Structure 1
Amino acid sequence: MTFIKNFILLFIRFCLIVFGIIAICCLPKLFLTESKQLPATGGMTIPPTLHLNFEQYIIQIQSVFHSLLNPAKMTYKVDVVMKNVPDRDLFPFILDTYVYTLTIMIVAFLVAVLLATFFANLTFYFSKRIQSAILKGLHVLETLPDLFVVFSIQLIVIWIYKHTNLLPTIPFSTMQEKTYFLPIVTLAILPTIYLYKITLLNYHTEIEKEYTTFALAKGMKPFYVLYKHVLINVLLSIFYNAKSIYFFMLSNMIVLEFSFNIYGLLQFLITHPTPEIMAIGILLLTIPFYIIFEILKWVLPGRRDIHV
């Protein structure tokens, strides 16, 4: 019965998320009316006006639902200015941009987790004074703006090329070749700093708990206690912070796509801001990860205490 109840709650939340995303994407239709031409005035166009129009809003929501039920028929305008260019099918083109953006984000997240865990384990063997200094430095680095990190990485690559005539990686994405390495490194920097700090703080919290003290008093070696039990609890805490990290990386990804000329999903959505395309793009970024997080919450154990 518990499994059925949890599944029903998951399905209800899923439906509410889908409806909420569609309702938000259609909000412009609630406040903004379409521009009209008046024949009596020689075809003069009346600009859009702001006022509540619930009928238009409901019609737009129904249209988006209908489009989502028939995704194969969805199209997008290749060029908004040139009217004679025919529309193209949204699928599978949007999936290419989606995979491109998702690849950079997932690899950057994995790199951040690995680097943060490695540095935290290494720092744990330093003295308390050095650990305290590192934490203060991480607090400062965490405040760095996204644009500062992006431009700094790009300037470093340009500086290396200027002085050595060696191009370590492609600094910008082109039509012929996509860039991965530099955006992944740039996107992973701030999450690595954040996870590094959180992991260090979690290490200190776990070490001071009774089960760790009891295990050390029993004669277990600190190395065994650290990697067998403390590390597992710390990694579980990283998972429970993964949602906030994901949305943090998603906001940074918007800056990255424009800075590195990456034609990913986010740039595609900004270029084609129709309610149907915005809704399906946000659903692609939200629903798969929501389902994965919910399943992992059922599968993964809670905090593990040591057994001696």
Structure 2
Amino acid sequence: MNIIKKILTQSIIWLITFLLLVVFMLLPRDVKYESGEAGNFIDANYVYSIDSHIKQIKKFYHYITHNPGLGKYRDNITNLEHITDKVLKSLWIIIPALFLSLLAGIAKGIFDYWSKDKKASIIGKGSTWLFLSIPDLFLIISLQLSILALYEMGWIPHITIYGSDSIDNYLICILFLSIYPFFYVANITYTSFKEEEGNDYIRTAKSKGIHSFKILYIHIFKNCMPSILSHTNTVILYILSNLFIVERLTDFRGAAFYFWESVRYSPIFTVGQQFTFFPVDTIGFIFYFTIFIFFANTISNVVTSLANPLRKVDHNK
């Protein structure tokens, strides 16, 4: 019953959030210009009108309800087909990046914990701390330049880092998307293990002479999983936010790339020009992005709710 309540709560939050974003995207783009006697440009001011806003919302609703497939994107392709195709393309890098971040990040966190009192802690917790301190944008650009430099020196084969038509493009994007979430999960895993080791049942297991690896993997790891998995929604948020950077820097033609294209304005305008903006595809991409976050939150809450009773049982043993 508690799980159903959480799912309903997440559904309501998602719906409210999505509707607010739609209302925001449909803000009128009316501009009032001030020009000189010779018609030269002096100033421009944004003018908001509630009537214009309501009119824009009604116009959008009428359009999507009277045009199959959310209208035409271009010849023989509807907006819905275009949006879905690009979202599916991005999913081919989002899902592998998510699993890579979780699995490899947990493994790295276990290594960090195991090596915390050893010399290997430099490449363990030390490296995790270092890479969490460096902006991922800097890391991505550095990796791109390093790949180009290594290829020029003949140390590695040719790797296509720009575009979205080869397997190289997908693998590179998966790698770039996974960088920060990987170290984030490693840090969460390490912190969870450190908090768990102080519990009485761990000290009891150690006093019984149980091997440290058995304590680590059977007791600590199992009881830390709810805490680690509860951060799945945060990992998804990091991946989605990085998606906009990665697709832009690698010219990967996915959902984030075309979302940027849909909201981009020309820097050139004429005095008296009004900026028309009808964000059908923009709102379509927003729908999918918020759905990803909704499912991530829901799955995280469900897994945590199911795992917590098991955690309590194990503590009582």
TM-score class, shorter-chain normalisation, is 0.7 to 0.9
1:202 to 192, 200, 204: 192
User: Are residues 255 and 122 of structure 1, via their aligned partners in 2, closer, same or farther at CA, if it must alter by over 3 Å?
Assistant: same
CA deviation after TM superposition for structure 1 residue 77, in Å: 5.4
* Alignment-derived partner of residue 115 in structure 2: 126
User: Are residues 137 and 213 of structure 1, via their aligned partners in 2, closer, same or farther at CA, if it must alter by over 3 Å?
Assistant: same
Residues 111-145 of structure 1 show CA distances to partners (whole Å, capped at 9, x for unaligned) of 12222222222333325254764434432321212
Q: Does residue 1:280 correspond to 2:284, yes or no?
A: yes
CA RMSD of aligned residues (A): 3.4
8 Å CA contact 2:26–2:53 kept in 1: the answer is: yes
Alpha-carbon distance in structure 1 between the residues aligned to 2:22 and 2:170:
31
Larger deviation, residues 161-170 vs 267-276:
161-170
1:261 to 244, 251, 256: 251
User: Are residues 151 and 127 of structure 1, via their aligned partners in 2, closer, same or farther at CA, if it must alter by over 3 Å?
Assistant: closer
1:135 to 91, 105, 125: 125
User: Are residues 191 and 90 of structure 1, via their aligned partners in 2, closer, same or farther at CA, if it must alter by over 3 Å?
Assistant: same
User: Are residues 4 and 265 of structure 1, via their aligned partners in 2, closer, same or farther at CA, if it must alter by over 3 Å?
Assistant: closer
Residues 65-113 of structure 1 show CA distances to partners (whole Å, capped at 9, x for unaligned) of 44555673424656xxxxxxx6941121221211122221221121122
Alpha-carbon distance in structure 2 between the residues aligned to 1:176 and 1:2:
45
Q: Which runs of 5+ in 2 are unaligned?
A: 34-40, 264-277
Q: Normalising to structure 1: TM-score of the pair?
A: 0.80
Q: Does residue 1:251 correspond to 2:247, yes or no?
A: no
Q: Does residue 1:155 correspond to 2:161, yes or no?
A: no
Alpha-carbon distance in structure 2 between the residues aligned to 1:108 and 1:216:
37
Q: Does residue 1:22 correspond to 2:19, yes or no?
A: no
CA deviation after TM superposition for structure 1 residue 150, in Å: 1.5
Q: Does residue 1:109 correspond to 2:113, yes or no?
A: no
Q: Does residue 1:185 correspond to 2:175, yes or no?
A: yes
User: Are residues 2 and 181 of structure 1, via their aligned partners in 2, closer, same or farther at CA, if it must alter by over 3 Å?
Assistant: closer
Alpha-carbon distance in structure 2 between the residues aligned to 1:18 and 1:193:
30
CA deviation after TM superposition for structure 1 residue 284, in Å: 0.4
Alpha-carbon distance in structure 2 between the residues aligned to 1:3 and 1:114:
25
User: Greater relative contact order: 1 or 2 (C-alpha under 8 angstroms, separation 6 or more)?
Assistant: 2
Alpha-carbon distance in structure 1 between the residues aligned to 2:178 and 2:7:
34
Q: Secondary structure at the match of 2:23?
A: helix
CA deviation after TM superposition for structure 1 residue 10, in Å: 4.3
Q: Does residue 1:54 correspond to 2:50, yes or no?
A: yes
8 Å CA contact 1:257–1:263 kept in 2: the answer is: yes
Q: Secondary structure at the match of 2:46?
A: coil
8 Å CA contact 1:71–1:91 kept in 2: the answer is: no
8 Å CA contact 1:75–1:87 kept in 2: the answer is: no
Q: Number of paired residues?
A: 293
Residues 24-58 of structure 1 show CA distances to partners (whole Å, capped at 9, x for unaligned) of 2223x1xx31689xxxxxxxx9x975122111112
- The one-letter code sitting in structure 2 at the alignment partner of 1:203 is F
CA deviation after TM superposition for structure 1 residue 154, in Å: 1.4
CA deviation after TM superposition for structure 1 residue 264, in Å: 0.9
Residues 228-274 of structure 1 show CA distances to partners (whole Å, capped at 9, x for unaligned) of 23213333223222222222222221111121111111111121224
User: Are residues 216 and 16 of structure 1, via their aligned partners in 2, closer, same or farther at CA, if it must alter by over 3 Å?
Assistant: same
User: Are residues 67 and 202 of structure 1, via their aligned partners in 2, closer, same or farther at CA, if it must alter by over 3 Å?
Assistant: farther
Q: Secondary structure at the match of 1:52?
A: coil
Alpha-carbon distance in structure 2 between the residues aligned to 1:283 and 1:162:
42
Alpha-carbon distance in structure 1 between the residues aligned to 2:22 and 2:133:
34
Q: Does residue 1:301 correspond to 2:314, yes or no?
A: no
Q: Which runs of 5+ in 1 are unaligned?
A: 37-44, 79-85
User: Are residues 234 and 91 of structure 1, via their aligned partners in 2, closer, same or farther at CA, if it must alter by over 3 Å?
Assistant: same
Overall identity of the aligned pairs, in %? 20
Larger deviation, residues 173-182 vs 221-230:
173-182
User: Are residues 67 and 295 of structure 1, via their aligned partners in 2, closer, same or farther at CA, if it must alter by over 3 Å?
Assistant: farther
- The one-letter code sitting in structure 2 at the alignment partner of 1:19 is L
* Alignment-derived partner of residue 12 in structure 1: 12
Alpha-carbon distance in structure 2 between the residues aligned to 1:194 and 1:123:
12
* Alignment-derived partner of residue 83 in structure 1: none
8 Å CA contact 1:67–1:73 kept in 2: the answer is: no
